[in-house]
Amino acid sequence: MTLLNYANAIEHLNSQSELSHKTQKWGLENISSAIEELRLDLTSLHLIQVVGTNGKGGTAYFIHQILQCFGFKVGAYTKPHLCSVCERIRIQKLISEECFAKLYWQLLPVFEKFTLSYFEKLTLLALVYFIQEKTDFAVFETGLGGRLDAVTALHAATVVFTSIGIDHTEYLGNTIEQITIEKAEVLKLCQQAFSTIQTPPVRAVLQSIAQTYGKNVQFIAPIEHGELNKHGTHFRFQGQDFDIPMFGTHYAQNAALAIEVTQSLFKKTQLSKLGSVAITKQSEITERLKTALSTSFWKGRLEFIHVKGYNKVLLSCAHNEGALIADSQTIRQMVDKKILPKTLKVLFAASRQRPADKFMEILLNELQGLDLSITITLIPPYQYPYQLLKNSSYSNLEFIEDCEKAFAKVLYLDSGDVVLSIGSIYLCGMVLRYLSNENSYDA
């Protein structure tokens, strides 16, 4: 299997994605029919579905890392990717391009028979891969919402709710209650459910729908003593000290959620039979939890990138109001801790129909008092956020529509300032590719 075949697979996947997005029928019927056609045994592995607005990918990754540290064979399916589609599918490492291409072409007749969308295709491919590789667990990040999302068709035994907020209102509804209802419907067939701390309206909806289906959602406690340092974030949970190599107490809360989920799974297993690792004491579990989290970093989430010849870059994938508030507050703390300087270059772009004006208001309010030099660029083909800001009353914003020209101006080493890239996961991917001198991107 050659690289060309992988390139052809990605080209075919991307050529179909625009059409399927325009004609896509939201629902579980197509993916469910494809699973039935392939006669996939969904009981051959323990499926975990992660649902929410923010923190889904990071929480899924933490769960993956913890279970793997205990000797289990664990698959993880996350979205979107920064540079390569292969980033979405991993066991011990990312799926190889060769393996991805082989599975893609094998499954193509099924993709076409049931007119699967871009996300449905990748969900099915990941599921087949994990089953073929005989994983013990598979952690799937929900794509959009929950009720009609392809991942929900997998009937996960364990459901995990991360922070739920306002996003994708054109699909999920305009109120937090409507959005939560869409996500909470995944409770219908699960065996156990967990949630991070939620706002009162979200918690009330989750509890109401759980009661309707005869389920119980276990809400975890907040972390204690969360504090940033130059290596990441230290926090206490369940009376124990933990460290993650990521900046932000919101990421630490995601790690705590992963601890709660995995410990519950461990209680269903005899301590001496955890994966391939012989464990006889609770203290040994705690130490392995600490080890797993201490090396778990979810890429692009307040990540420093330093490439010779370029300014140091801090990547933020924050792309909705809740995430922007959390990351901006953390950036402020990083300045206070002298992890970041008070002078920052900001490279901003947003995608789709995002309210870029509200995003900018959050940034300016949360980072008030810092010396910011802000450049706005455009992520093709998303004109709306760029024009929204250009027509706004904000002053002191520099607009460079061509992203390559914006990157050349902001990223190349000059004064040695730190560049904050924020507003879109797509922007982070573009910056990463620019810094590595790679133009290829699996859109």
The last residue of a domain, from among 234, 259, 294: 294
Degrees, nearest 5: CA angle 132-136-142 = 85
Residue 119 clears pLDDT 60, i.e. is over it: yes
Element housing 373 (H / E):
strand 371-376
E strand spans, 12-150: 46-51, 74-77, 89-90, 137-141
Encode pLDDT of 43-73 as tens digits.
999 999 999 999 999 999 999 999 999 999 9
Q: Do 135 and 278 sit in the same domain of this protein?
A: yes
State the pairing for strand pair 232-237/240-244: antiparallel
Phi/psi for 294 (5° steps) reads -65, -15
Q: Which helix (H) or strand (E) holds 361?
A: helix 356-366
d(CA 172, CA 146): 9
Instruction: Evaluate whether residue 35 is within a structural domain.
Output: yes
Which single residue is written with the structure tokens 């919101």? 250
Number of domains in the chain: 2
Do residues 13 and 112 make contact, with C-beta atoms less than 8 angstroms apart? Answer: no
Average pLDDT of the residues in 107-129:
97
Judgement on whether residues 189 and 319 belong to the same structural domain of the protein: no
**Is 394 part of a structural domain of the chain?**
yes
Question: Peptide bond before 201: cis, by omega within 30 degrees of 0?
Answer: no
Can you read off the two tokens belonging to residue 49? 């579905």
pLDDT in tens, 373-391: 999 999 999 999 999 999 9
Q: Look up the domain containing 124 and give its range.
A: 3-294
Tell me the backbone φ, ψ of residue 285, rounded to 5 degrees. Answer: -65, -45
The neighbour count for residue 284, using CB atoms within 10 Å, is: 15
Any idea what DSSP says for residue 52? S
Q: What is the pLDDT of residues 167-216, one digit of tens each?
A: 776 777 779 999 999 999 999 999 999 999 999 999 999 999 999 999 99
Same domain, 73 and 222: yes
CA–CA distance, 287 with 293 (Å, rounded to integer): 10
pLDDT band at 106 (very low <50, low <70, confident <90, very high): very high
* Statement: residue 365 has pLDDT above 60: yes
Let me know if residue 66 belongs to a domain.
yes
Clarify whether residues 322 and 188 are in a common domain. no
| Count of beta carbons in the 10 Å neighbourhood of residue 153 | 22
Structural domain contains residue 441: no
350/386 Cα distance (integer angstroms)? 7
Tokens 């009353």 correspond to what residue? 393
Instruction: Decide: 399 and 390 in contact? Cβ < 8 Å.
Output: yes
Note whether 220 and 326 are same-domain residues: no
Averaged over 14-38, what is the pLDDT?
78
Q: Is the pLDDT of residue 19 over 50?
A: no
pLDDT at 272 over 90: no
In the numeric block, the tokens 């959620």 are attached to 257
Phi-psi region of 230 (alpha: psi -120 to 50; beta: other; left: phi over 0): alpha
442 occurs within a structural domain = no
Q: What is the distance of C-alpha 164 from the center of its chain?
A: 13
Q: Which of 260, 174, 163, 147 is nearest to 202 (CA)?
A: 163
Regarding whether 327 and 390 lie in a shared domain, the answer is yes
Q: What pLDDT shows up at residue 280? A: 61
Task: Assess whether 240 and 328 both reside in one domain.
Answer: no
Which of 21-35, 198-212, 314-328 is predicted least confidently?
Answer: 21-35
* 78 and 126, same domain (yes or no): yes
Q: Do 342 and 270 share a structural domain? A: no
Question: Which of 274, 294, 314 represents a domain boundary (last residue)?
Answer: 294
CATH of the domain at 386: 3.90.190.20
On the 0-12 / 13-18 / 19+ scale of CB atoms within 10 A, 394 is middle
Q: Examine the domain organization and report whether 312 and 369 are in the same domain.
A: yes
Residue 333 belongs to a domain: yes
Among the candidates 265, 294, 323, a domain finishes at: 294
Is the pLDDT assigned to residue 275 strictly greater than 90? no
d(CA 200, CA 273): 39
Q: Is 230 a domain residue?
A: yes
| Alpha-carbon span 340 to 117, nearest angstrom | 42
Asked if 251 contacts 242 with a C-beta cutoff of 8 angstroms, the reply is no
What is residue 26's predicted lDDT score, i.e. its pLDDT? 73
Same domain membership, residue 207 and residue 100: yes
Q: Is residue 443 domain-resident?
A: no
* Paired residues of 375 in beta bridges: 347, 398
- In which residue are the tokens 């389920």 written? 215
* 204 and 100 share one domain: yes
Q: How far apart, in whole angstroms, are the C-alpha atoms of residue 151 and residue 28?
A: 9
Q: Write the DSSP string, 258-299.
A: HHHHHHHHHHTS-GGGSTTS---SHHHHHHHHHHHHHT---T
